[in-house]
Amino acid sequence: MRLIVTAFIGVVVGFFLGVSFPTLSLTKMSLPSSLFPSIDLNYLEDKYSGLSTQALLNVWSSLKRNRGTASHFYKFNETKIWVPTNPRGAERLPPGIIVSESDFYLRRLWGLPSEDLTIKPRYLVTFTVGIAQKNNIDAAVKKFSESFTILLFHYDGRVSEWDEFEWSKRAIHVSVQKQTKWWYAKRFLHPDIVAPYDYIFMWDEDLGVEHFDAEEYIKLVRKHGLEISQPGLDPQSKGLTWQMTKKRDNSEVHKETQERPGWCTDPHLPPCAAFVEIMATVFSRNAWRCVWHMIQNDLIHGWGLDFALRKCVEPAHEKIGVVDAQWILHQSVPSLGNQGKAEGGKAPWEGVRERCRKEWTMFQDRMAVAEKAYFEAMKIDPPNSTAT
């Protein structure tokens, strides 16, 4: 009888002592390791330090219930997986878990992932900017609806000063000083990153957009089957070089032009056709996947690309064109040129321009060498060859 009474009193006292302590520290208890297999107790205590004892025990109970499922998974994982058709480096993963593409969609830190996005932008527009052109960019961004993701590449490092614009708070900002549009594009616009977007606008910062509407532009691009395009340039634009990119009146789109005598060896080749400039280019998703791979990692100014874009669509003279009904004004503000360095008595912009010309020649040489090597390896005659 004494033993029974003593045990009963001990149980009652222990119960009230336990209730008097609101939390339980698992890491301070000496329990067999087999009771908590492969569980980091410090992690559990830190993660759930704000929970009551009962709530913490509920968490542990949930973990125990899932233990069977986890063990089942690990048994499967002992079987070697090798899928050669997976993306390079992911051959050991089951195909169903692979996510090879991404996007620039902004997501919340709470709630369900499936409820993060009230709208999924279908298009992407990028501007390479300095703070001196913020008002111009503000006017340009307002021409693009919520169907567009806005991405700013800051070449002057001044990002926070754009916060005065409400749209800037939902834009993507990438800041690396003294870099160009094509440097950014090669590093941040991989085709698998921009895959959700039907069209990618890659624009400079010095464009007047008074007569431009992005949604109407997209309609015309689709209507005329353009894979690579640009808005027509207002005849009042500064530095207007090519007839092909000049806006035409009473026209929606044009795909060819007449240039100066001797400039075009073929009416279907640049600069008379299959040609747009690189200041305000618009790419379809498929065209950009090709163009991105053609951009050279070290040739950052992009000079020469405009003459080679035709290699990424077929037939190029039908799928590259200029949209006349939505036009822009090129203001030719040499902002990025002033980011250069004065050397040898030359102004900063002179050094930048000199490198542009050198890169153009280097790009042409690389393309010629690559094409020659391919045709020789395939033992076929290159196009326009006179061999029989």
Q: What is the CATH number of the domain that holds 274?
A: 3.90.550.10
> Mind listing the pLDDT tens digit for each residue in 12-48?
667 666 655 554 444 444 444 444 444 444 544 454 4
Binned at pLDDT 50, 70 and 90, residue 57 comes out as: low
The phi and psi torsions of 47 (rounded to 5 degrees) equal -70, -35
| 42 membership: H or E segment, kind and range | helix 41-47
Rama region for 341: left / alpha / beta (φ>0; ψ in -120 to 50; rest): beta
Catalogue the E-assigned strands of 44-134: 123-129
Query: Within a domain: residue 344?
Result: no
75: in domain: no
Element (H, E) at 3: helix 2-19
Helix (H, G, I), strand (E, B) or coil at 176: coil
Strand partners, 199: 123, 284
In a domain, 320, yes or no: yes
The secondary structure element, H or E, covering residue 321 is strand 320-330
3 state DSSP class of 228: strand
Question: Which one, of 257, 279, 285, lies nearest residue 270 by Cα?
Answer: 257
Residue 158 lies in a domain: yes
pLDDT digits (tens, 9 = 90+) for 335-388: 666 677 777 777 777 888 899 999 999 999 999 999 999 999 999 988 764 343
Domain residues for the domain of 221 are 123-333
Query: Which residues are CB-contacts of 95 (< 8 A; sequence separation ≥ 6)?
Result: 83, 85, 86
Residue range 198-224, pLDDT digits in tens: 999 999 999 999 999 999 999 999 999
Residue among 14, 25, 94 nearest 56 (CA): 25
Instruction: Report pLDDT digits (tens) over 87-135.
Output: 999 999 999 999 999 999 999 999 999 999 999 999 999 999 999 999 9
Neighbours of 121 (CB within 10 A): 20
By three-state DSSP, how is residue 202 classified? strand
Any domain includes 317: yes
- The 8 Å CB, 24+ separation contacts for 32-39 are 39/63
pTM of the model: 0.79
- Number of domains within the chain: 1
Per the domain annotation, does 227 fall within a domain? yes
Task: Flag whether 54 is in a domain.
Answer: no
The answer to whether residue 48 sits within a structural domain is no
Pair 278, 302: CB distance under 8 Å: yes
